[in-house]
């Protein structure tokens, strides 16, 4: 219970300090008052709702400052040094203030969790931050290499390893380490990363990478679907449609939930139209079109303009597509059923 209170208090203090940093800089006195008020309110809410006494009749006093929280956390870790999360939090607390102590705390966490890739990378970073020249030493390098052997897609490990290779005057190796990142990150991050890769390649006597468009759009364009949408001519001649009707072009999981993995909205006047659905059209960051192997594509005519299907909406016949699609998908709204 004591360790839990120390960790909870330290997290609260760190979060409040981060959120109030701009106000602290411009108006320190109001910031101090607000900091104290929020901290007391947080503690009061926890003690009222969390009923800690039910867990520990002799509950410890919550620390009033980050220094007191750190001291309490260190004391608890001395009594029970097997707490991985405690050592990791202690490392974060010391990261900017005393990097050598942060390194030592992360070393304990890394020893307790040798299979945790994130902790191993944080330990390597802490070793570099504790070095006067911020260099990755042999032990940090070994940790990064181990993580990448286990998890080649670990972005921070790959980035830090490239930095270590640049520091060791191995620019060609750094470029090779960083280049796969272009297919893992978004376009903005890739645009920032490319100059670093090109600089490493230049230092190694290599030409720059090919045109940026090829690399920065790789992740977004993966499994992109070209869709052609039109109205059935006979249907269009027989039915009077509202001019403010909307057209939704949707890709969704076959036999799955109705929520689309990619969707675009257009007006009725845009028909016939051709669109390209890709990850940029995804409404859910946790479900990407590029991660699927099969989708169902459909076009919906909506008089309400609501993305959710309403009574009176008319859909084209759905088409199931295996990805990546080699040919455009053609959808006809109002076509007679087969």
Given a cut of 60, whether residue 9 has pLDDT beyond it is: no
Tell me the per-residue pLDDT of 236-264, one tens digit each, with 9 for 90 and over: 888 888 878 899 999 999 887 777 889 99
* Residues with Cβ within 8 Å of residue 247, at least 6 apart in sequence: 229, 265, 266, 267, 268, 270, 271, 273, 299, 300, 301, 302, 333
Q: Which residue has the higher pLDDT, 49 or 312?
A: 312
Question: Does residue 265 carry a pLDDT above 80?
Answer: yes
Q: Parse the chain into domains and list their residue ranges.
A: 2-213, 222-333
DSSP state of 306: -
Homologous superfamily, domain 2-213: Tetratricopeptide repeat domain (1.25.40.10)
Per-residue pLDDT, 218? 44
Average pLDDT, the chain: 81
Which range, of 128-132, 318-322, 324-328, averages the lowest pLDDT? Answer: 324-328
Helix ranges (H only) for 84-211 are: 84-94, 99-112, 117-130, 138-150, 155-167, 171-178, 187-203
For 109-132, write each residue's pLDDT tens digit. Answer: 999 999 999 999 999 999 999 999
Q: Over the stretch 20-61, which tens digit does the pLDDT of each residue have? A: 444 444 444 444 444 444 454 454 445 444 444 444 545 556
Q: Between β-strands 225-231 and 329-333, what pairing exists: parallel, antiparallel or unpaired?
A: parallel
CA dihedral 265→269→273→275, nearest 10 degrees, is: -20
Give the per-residue pLDDT at 30.
45
Name the band, by pLDDT with cuts 50, 70 and 90, for residue 283.
confident
pTM for the model stands at 0.50
> What pLDDT does residue 170 have?
96
């Amino acid at each position: 219970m004591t360790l839990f209170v120390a960790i909870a208090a330290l997290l609260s203090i760190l979060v409040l300090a981060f959120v109030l940093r701009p106000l602290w800089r411009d108006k320190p006195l109001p910031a101090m008052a607000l900091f104290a008020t929020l901290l007391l309110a947080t503690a009061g809410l926890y003690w009222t709702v969390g009923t800690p006494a039910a867990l520990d009749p002799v509950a410890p006093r919550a620390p009033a400052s980050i220094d007191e929280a750190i001291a309490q956390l260190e004391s608890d870790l001395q009594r029970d040094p097997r707490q991985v999360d405690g050592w990791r939090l202690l490392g974060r607390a010391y990261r900017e203030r005393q990097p050598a102590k942060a390194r030592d705390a992360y070393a304990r966490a890394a020893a307790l969790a040798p299979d945790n890739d994130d902790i191993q990378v944080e330990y390597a970073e802490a070793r570099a931050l504790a070095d006067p020249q911020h260099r990755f030493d042999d032990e940090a390098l070994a940790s990064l290499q181990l993580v990448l052997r286990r998890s080649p897609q670990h972005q921070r490990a790959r980035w830090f390893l490239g930095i270590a290779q640049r520091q060791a005057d191995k620019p060609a190796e750094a470029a090779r380490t960083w280049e796969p990142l272009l297919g893992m990150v978004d376009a903005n991050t890739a645009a920032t990363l490319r100059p670093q890769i090109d600089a490493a390649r230049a230092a190694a006597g290599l030409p720059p990478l090919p045109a940026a468009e090829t690399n920065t759009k790789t992740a977004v364009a993966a499994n992109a679907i070209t869709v052609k949408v039109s109205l059935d001519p006979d249907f269009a001649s027989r039915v009077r449609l509202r001019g403010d009707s909307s057209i939704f072009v949707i890709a969704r999981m076959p036999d799955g939930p109705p929520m689309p993995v990619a969707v675009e909205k257009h007006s009725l006047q845009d028909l016939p139209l051709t669109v390209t659905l890709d990850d940029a059209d995804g409404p859910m960051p946790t479900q990407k079109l590029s991660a699927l192997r099969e989708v169902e594509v459909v076009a919906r005519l909506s008089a309400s303009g609501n993305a959710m299907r309403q009574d009176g909406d008319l859909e084209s016949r759905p088409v199931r597509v295996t990805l990546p699609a080699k040919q455009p998908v053609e959808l006809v709204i109002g076509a007679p059923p087969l």
